[in-house]
Structure 1
Amino acid sequence: MNRDKLWARLRAIAQRIRAAHSGVQDVRVFGSIARGDHVGTSDVDILIILTDAPEQNLPADRIERSLLFYRYFDLPIGVDLLVYTASELEHKTPFLSRIYAESIPL
């Protein structure tokens, strides 16, 4: 899949996620795709940021949260998905700080 088609698919997926989940604050791409240095075997790295609204009724565990969103990513390449709430991101580790700094909103 060429770069332009991939970005178009990612934007469409982000729109579908936002339409289906009102608690999604942001959907971002990070990693090699965002940096523009991906190769044919690269996966897509996605960061989804949720609001902290308790009425979302989402699992507390980030892995369980990620499983809710994987179904949207019907791509011919692998996807790594990180799902955090806004308050979890306020306490960024150096890893999360780097991810957020290099990420591109969809």
Structure 2
Amino acid sequence: MSENNQLRDVFDAIADPTRRRLIQLLAEAEELPLHELTAQFPMGRTAVSKHLTILKEAGLVVDRKVGRETRYRLNAAPLREIQDWVAFYSKFWSTNMLRLNQLLEEEEE
């Protein structure tokens, strides 16, 4: 488990398009209640809640009760793991593209 006591792998959590859309919605807003999030999807409140639970288990979402309402906000810190992973491959592809470019230039000469 990582420093924020994740119960679920971040990569697993973002694998689903619905959860990626939830992350996007929460990134665009400071905080959103469940009913506003549910309105953005062609599924019921229970299904959206299940997706939010998976995001919470990965440490990507934090919730709080305000009266009878549950409000959600994004915790982007766990996304650093994904950013680091992608950055490694970005360097890999940049290096290989540079090599390819050099080979093509050598062939032209």
The two structures have a TM-score, normalised by structure 2, of 0.28
Richer in strand (by share): 1
Whichever structure has more helix as a proportion of its residues is 2
Structure with bigger gyration radius: 2
